[in-house]
């Protein structure tokens, strides 16, 4: 009996361990056919396919390509490219949809797939439902004279590099700025250095030699220890870290201190407000957004809108409220006046533009917002947990929330991409935060 696709879509596409359903060649073959069949309902369709640097990307690229061709869809192959580059290139090449083969910040054993519409936006729930329905039907190829054609596009990298540079105000001077860039051995390895060096910065690049298995391994936006060390050793002004598919950004100041997604969004939000650029004076975050950022935004009269976790949900709330800036503490930042998706490189350029124009250091701007201590504990699960009806857990939550009062908060949610329950606690006191989180996690275990 075939399972429905809806159970596969997490907060960011379909993702899992290679070789285990649904991350198999036969599933990707049928997925390509199903998506292609839905796209073809309105006439002749075309897609572009990009991937990150995982060794399994070759396997799934071929499977998806065959599926699309069998549905009569033309395919343009882009090779290794950041996820946000595919959002942009889908529009540039006038494709009906864009496809990214990536498991984002996960290690090489995992892979997955994300889709973009012709406008460079993540597919909505209606589109996913149509694909889900198609996957329950037998896979029947179009006739031989209607099979799609495939080609490898030339110069997608150059197009994307120039696009990134176009989002930076050239009146802001980067010359003399010493920057260390960590590419996470991922999809920005052949792009990031060119963007920042061509804008005048002095660049040192690390973790830019992908071998198919070292993506995100002890490096990048999910593990900044190496970057922090190199920034201090080279006496750099700052460091920039991307994740494997280039849609996340973390930064490091000259003291080696991490500057996360919440802090970066606040830095940009405050500057844009002062420049009268922050449309509707709104910033969108998520349930995970730090309490310190919420208070800091309130302190400068910027309205905060809370979305569900995941950049797709952030985008939905941004469009709903007419906002141009949103993001997550994990490093997704969306600048809707610049691009249609979270883009690590473009987000970093917006932060650098603020630094250059204000003539401030990243450290100075970081400390304009005081983060509350946050403890996040991931509790592994073997099966789905009904959090709403977990009586003992809910009793413990009430006790912890009562103890914290207005100076803290609790959030417990199931991961959308992994078999985990995420327990998060924020409070002014670090020791209380840790003890509260452990109490909740022990209750779940």
Catalytic entry in 46, 104, 341, 347: 104
Q: Going by CATH, does the domain composed of 260-366 fall within 3.40.120.10? A: yes
120: left (phi over 0), alpha (psi -120 to 50) or beta: left
Distances (CA, A) of 256 to 238, 294, 375: 8, 25, 21
Average pLDDT for the chain: 94
In this predicted structure, what is the pLDDT of residue 122? 85
DSSP letter (8 states) at residue 372: P
Q: Which residues pair with 326 in a beta bridge?
A: 284, 334
CB 343 within 8 A of CB 90: no
In this predicted structure, what is the pLDDT of residue 333? 97
Tens of pLDDT along 124-147? 788 888 998 899 999 999 999 999
Packed helices 83-92 and 344-358: angle between N→C axes, nearest 10 degrees:
100
Neighbouring C-beta atoms of residue 428, cutoff 10 Å: 15
In this predicted structure, what is the pLDDT of residue 312? 86
Distances (CA, A) of 80 to 96, 131, 156, 277, 332: 20, 25, 10, 34, 20
| Identical fold, 174-258 and 374-444 | no
* 218 CB-near residues (< 8 Å, 6+ apart): 225, 226
Q: What's the CATH number for 174-258?
A: 3.40.120.10
DSSP letter (8 states) at residue 122: B
Sequence length of the chain is: 445
Closest CA to 106 of 215, 258, 224, 246: 215
Q: Are strands 420-427 and 408-414 parallel, antiparallel or unpaired?
A: antiparallel
2 pLDDT above the threshold of 70: no
In this predicted structure, what is the pLDDT of residue 10? 66
In this predicted structure, what is the pLDDT of residue 406? 79
**pTM to 2 decimal places:** 0.91
Tens of pLDDT along 340-394? 999 999 999 999 999 999 999 999 999 999 999 999 999 988 777 778 888 888 8
CA 10 to chain centre: 13
Domain ranges of the chain: 5-154, 174-258, 260-366, 374-444
Q: 44-53, 63-72, 176-185, 380-389: which range is least confident on average? A: 380-389
With H, G, I as helix, E, B as strand and everything else as coil, classify residue 338: coil
User: DSSP strand E in 68-201: where?
Assistant: 74-80, 97-101, 110-117, 150-152, 178-182
Homologous superfamily of 5-154: Alpha-D-Glucose-1,6-Bisphosphate, subunit A, domain 3 (3.40.120.10)
pLDDT band at 307 (very low <50, low <70, confident <90, very high): very high
Residue 22 preceded by cis peptide, ω within 30: yes
Active site residue 104: yes
Q: Which residues pair with 307 in a beta bridge?
A: 286
Distances (CA, A) of 71 to 36, 126, 282: 5, 20, 43
Closest CA to 180 of 222, 220, 250, 227: 227
Fold annotation for 374-444 = TATA-Binding Protein (3.30.310)
DSSP letter (8 states) at residue 427: E
In this predicted structure, what is the pLDDT of residue 45? 97
Task: Please tell me the distance from the alpha carbon of residue 431 to that of residue 429, in angstroms, as a whole number.
Answer: 6
Neighbouring C-beta atoms of residue 145, cutoff 10 Å: 6
CB 326 within 8 A of CB 338: no
Distances (CA, A) of 316 to 56, 65, 114, 290, 312: 31, 30, 17, 20, 6
With residue 112 as reference, give the H or E element that holds it.
Answer: strand 110-117
């Amino acid at each position: 009996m075939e399972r429905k696709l809806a159970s596969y879509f997490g907060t960011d596409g379909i993702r899992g361990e290679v070789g285990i359903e649904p991350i198999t060649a036969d599933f990707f073959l049928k997925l390509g056919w199903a998506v292609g069949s839905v796209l073809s309902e309105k006439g002749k369709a075309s897609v572009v396919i990009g991937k990150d640097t995982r060794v399994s990307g070759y396997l799934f690229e071929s499977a998806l390509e065959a599926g699309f061709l069998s549905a009569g869809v033309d395919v343009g192959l882009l090779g290794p490219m950041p996820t946000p580059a595919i959002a942009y290139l889908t529009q540039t090449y006038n494709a009906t949809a864009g496809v990214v083969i990536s498991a984002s910040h996960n290690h090489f054993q995992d892979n997955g797939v994300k889709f973009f519409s012709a406008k460079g936006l993540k597919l909505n729930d209606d589109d996913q439902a149509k694909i889900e329905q198609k996957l329950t039907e037998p896979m029947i190829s179009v006739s031989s004279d209607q099979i799609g054609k495939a080609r490898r596009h030339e110069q997608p990298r150059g197009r994307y590099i120039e696009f990134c540079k176009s989002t930076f105000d050239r009146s802001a001077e980067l010359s003399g700025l010493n920057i260390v860039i960590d590419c996470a051995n991922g999809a920005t390895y052949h792009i990031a250095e060119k963007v920042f060096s061509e804008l005048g910065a002095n660049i040192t690049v690390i973790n830019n030699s992908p071998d198919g298995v070292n993506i995100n391994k002890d490096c990048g936006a999910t593990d900044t220890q190496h970057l922090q060390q190199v920034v201090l050793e080279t006496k750099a002004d700052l460091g920039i870290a991307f994740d494997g598919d280039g849609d996340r950004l973390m930064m490091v100041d000259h003291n080696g201190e991490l500057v996360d997604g919440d802090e970066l969004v606040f830095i940009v939000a405050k500057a844009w407000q002062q420049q009268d650029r922050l449309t509707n004076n709104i910033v969108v975050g998520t349930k995970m957004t730090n309490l310190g950022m919420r208070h800091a935004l309130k302190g400068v009269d910027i309205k905060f809108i809370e979305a569900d976790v995941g950049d797709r949900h952030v985008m939905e709330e941004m469009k709903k409220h007419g906002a141009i800036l949103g993001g997550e503490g994990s490093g997704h930042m969306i600048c809707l006046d610049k691009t249609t998706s979270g883009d690590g490189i473009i987000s970093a350029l917006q932060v650098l533009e603020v630094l250059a124009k204000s003539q401030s250091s990243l450290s100075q701007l970081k400390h304009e917002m005081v983060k509350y201590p946050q403890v996040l504990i991931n509790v592994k699960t073997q099966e789905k947990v009904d959090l709403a009806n977990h009586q003992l857990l809910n009793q413990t939550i009430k006790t912890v929330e009562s103890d914290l009062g207005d100076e803290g908060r609790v959030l417990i949610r199931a991961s959308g991409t992994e078999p985990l329950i995420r327990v998060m606690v924020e409070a002014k006191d670090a020791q209380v935060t840790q003890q509260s989180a452990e109490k909740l996690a022990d209750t779940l275990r």
